[in-house]
Amino acid sequence: MGMGGQGYGNREVVSPRRSERKVFPAWAKEIPECEKHYEVSKGSGLRSEDVERRRMIYGYNDLEKHEGQSIWSLVLDQFNDTLVRILLAAAVVSFVLAWYGGQKGTDKMTPFVEPLVIFLILIVNAIVGVWQESNAEKALEALKEIQSEHATVIRDGMKIHNLPARELLPGDVVELRVGDTVPADMRVLQLISSTLRIEQGSLTGESEAVNKSHKAVPEDTDIQGKRCMVFAGTTVVNGHCICLVTQTGMETEIGKVHDQIQEASQSGEDTPLKKKLNQFGETLTLIIGLICAVVWLINVKYFLTWEYVNGWPRNFRFSFEKCTYYFEIAVALAVAAIPEGLPAVITTCLALGTREMAKKNALVRKLPSVETLGCTTVICSDKTGTLTTNQMAVAKLVAMGSTADRLRTFKVDGTTFNPFDGKIQDWLTGGMDANLQMIAKIAAICNDAGISESEHKFVSNGIPTEAALKVLVEKMGLPEGFQKRSTSGSDLLRCCRRWNEYEPRIATLEFDRDRKSMGVIVNSRSGKKSLLVKGAVENVLERSTKMQLVDGSVLQLDQKTRKLILDALDKMSTGALRCLGFAYKDELHEFETYDGNEDHPAHVLLLDPSNYSSIERDLIFVGLVGLRDPPREEVNQAIKDCRAAGIRVMVITGDNKNTAEAICREIGVFGPNEDISSKSITGKEFMDLRDPKAHLRQSGGLLFSRAEPGHKQEIVRLLKEDGEVVAMTGDGVNDAPALKLADIGIAMGIAGTEVAKEASDMVLADDNFSTIVAAVGEGRSIYNNMKAFIRYMISSNMGEVASIFLTAALGIPEGLIPVQLLWVNLVTDGPPATALGFNPPDKDIMKKPPRRSDDSLINAWILFRYLVIGLYVGIATVGIFIIWYTQGSFLGIDISGDGHTLVSYAQLSTWGQCSSWENFTASPFTAGSQVFSFDNPCDYFQDGKVKAMTLSLSVLVAIEMFNSLNALSEDGSLLTMPPWVNPWLLLAMSVSFSLHFLILYVPFLARVFGIVPLSFNEWLLVLAVALPVILIDEILKFVGRCTSGSQAAQASNRRTAIKPKSE
**Catalytic (active-site) positions:** 382
- What are the CA-CA distances from residue 526 to residues 586, 592, 894 (Å)? 10, 12, 112
Residue 230: beta bridge partners? 186
Centroid of chain to Cα 633: 22
Residue 401: burial class (beta carbons within 10 Å; 0-12, 13-18, 19+): middle
Buried b (16+ CB within 10 A) or exposed e, 930-950: eebebeebbebbeebbbbbbb
Q: How far is CA 850 from CA 725, 738, 761, 853, in A?
A: 10, 22, 20, 9
d(CA 991, CA 838): 16
Residue 77, classified by CB atoms within 10 Å of its CB into exposed (0-12), middle (13-18) or buried (19+), is middle
Beta bridge partners of 388: 631
Please tell me the distance from the alpha carbon of residue 108 to that of residue 106, in angstroms, as a whole number. 6
Q: Which of 808, 832, 803, 836 is nearest to 951 (CA)?
A: 803
Q: What is the DSSP string of 897-938?
A: TT-PPP--HHHHHTGGGGGG-SS-----EEETTEEE--SSGG
Length of the chain: 1063
Distances (CA, A) of 659 to 362, 576, 679, 1004: 28, 4, 15, 74
3-state secondary structure of 648: strand
Measured on CA atoms in the order 301, 302, 307, 313, is the torsion positive or negative? negative
Helix axes 272-303, 82-104, angle to 10 degrees: 30
Closest Cα to residue 1012, out of 944, 958, 939?
944
At 980, is the secondary structure helix, strand, or coil?
helix
Query: At residue 591, what is the residue type?
Result: F
Please list, residue by residue across 500-529, b when 16 or more beta carbons sit within 10 angstroms of its beta carbon and e when fewer do. bebbebebebbbbeebebbbbbbbbeeeeb
How far CA 798 is from CA of 291, 346, 787, in Å, comes to: 12, 19, 16
- DSSP at 46: B
Distance CA 157, CA 749 (A): 45
Give the C-alpha distances (Å, rounded to integers) separating 373 from 362, 461, 720.
11, 37, 14
Partner residues linked to 453 by β-bridges:
458
- Bridge partner residues of 621 (DSSP): 547, 583
Q: What residue type is assigned to position 610 of the chain?
A: S
Q: Tell me the one-letter amino acid at 710.
A: G
Contact status, residue 23 vs residue 14, Cβ threshold 8 Å: no
What is the maximum alpha-carbon separation in the chain? 135
With CA atoms as reference, report the closest residue to 497 among 444, 564, 543: 444
Q: What per-residue string of b and e applies to 130-159 under the rule 16 or more CB within 10 Å gives b?
A: beebeebbebbebbeebbbeebbbbbeeee
CA distance 858 to 870: 15
Q: What is the CA radius of gyration of the chain?
A: 39
